Amino acid sequence: MSRSCSIAPTNKKEYLTDIGRILVKDYGKKKYYKPEEVKNAHEKSKWYDGLDFSCWAMSAFSSHSDFDNYHDQTGEVCDYIEMKTEMLQALSMTTGSEILDLPDFDVDASWLDIGNIIGGIGDFFSSISD
């Protein structure tokens, strides 16, 4: 039996920043992280209180195929494009200088491969990583 994906985190920008930091610390910089790595990062974060909404971070940090394979195995019905768009829209409200001013912000922005999802925002984030 399929079940729908869990509810999104309330503060998406803070959630992605926290999970990104844990991923880089634990697994190094990568273009994409395996769903299991993202799930482990979620469980190590302050966001984990028994609720698992790590698939929202998977939409930002994992490849589309890994995301879909993970959800095929778990039976959850989650839409990669819709979830990634929603998560990254929260980041788009932050200016590049604010992101770079965050202490210890050392996340490789190459995982923001969203040029085909949200027009123009992909170029914006690419300029941040340069």
pLDDT digits (tens, 9 = 90+) for 30-42: 999 999 999 999 9
Q: Which residues, including other chains, have CB under 8 Å from residue 119's CB and lie 6 or more apart?
A: none
Question: Does the pLDDT of residue 53 top 60, yes or no?
Answer: yes
The residue-averaged pLDDT of 51-58 equals: 90
Q: Which residues, including other chains, have CB under 8 Å from residue 40's CB and lie 6 or more apart?
A: 26
Euclidean distance between CA atoms 18 and 64, whole angstroms? 21
The position carrying tokens 């984030």 is 125
Q: Report DSSP state, residue 75.
A: -
Tokens, residue 117: 């999802």
Return the bridge partners of 3, or none: 76
pLDDT of residue 48: 86
Q: 45 is in which domain, residue-wise? A: 3-129
Q: How many domains does the chain have?
A: 1
Please check whether residue 59 is in contact with residue 91, taking contact to mean a CB–CB distance below 8 angstroms. Answer: no
Please give the model's pTM, rounded to 2 decimal places: 0.70
Q: Which residues, including other chains, have CB under 8 Å from residue 116's CB and lie 6 or more apart?
A: 122
